[in-house]
């Protein structure tokens, strides 16, 4: 997958550490009660080879680095 610029990006993560840089759109989400949480949205575009594999029924694999995965959401569009 190729990193894409998400509409309304509020910052770019990782570029100062020598990575390509990941555009992120921050939003605040309220959970039942008084708690609020920051949510970081990113966008990705499949390469032609990945798109062909997806169209042939391949799965999307999400890899989370670390020992305690945080809740994540994956959507289209």
**What are the tens digits of pLDDT across the range 15-48?**
888 888 889 999 998 877 778 888 889 999 999 9
Segment 53-59 shows an average pLDDT of 94
Write down the pTM of the prediction: 0.72
Stronger pLDDT, 66 or 45, i.e. the higher one:
45
pLDDT, position 66: 76
The predicted structure's pLDDT at residue 39: 87
The domain spans of the chain are: 2-55
CA dihedral 7, 17, 64, 4 (to 10 degrees): 20
What is the Cβ-side half-sphere exposure of residue 11, based on CA atoms within 13 angstroms?
8
């Amino acid at each position: 997958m190729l990193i894409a610029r998400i509409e309304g990006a509020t910052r770019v993560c990782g570029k100062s550490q020598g990575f390509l840089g990941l555009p992120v759109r921050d939003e605040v989400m309220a959970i039942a009660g008084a708690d609020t949480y920051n949510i970081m949205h990113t966008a990705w575009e499949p390469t032609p080879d990945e798109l062909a594999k997806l169209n042939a029924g391949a799965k999307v694999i999400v890899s989370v680095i670390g020992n305690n995965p945080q809740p994540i959401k994956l959507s289209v569009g």
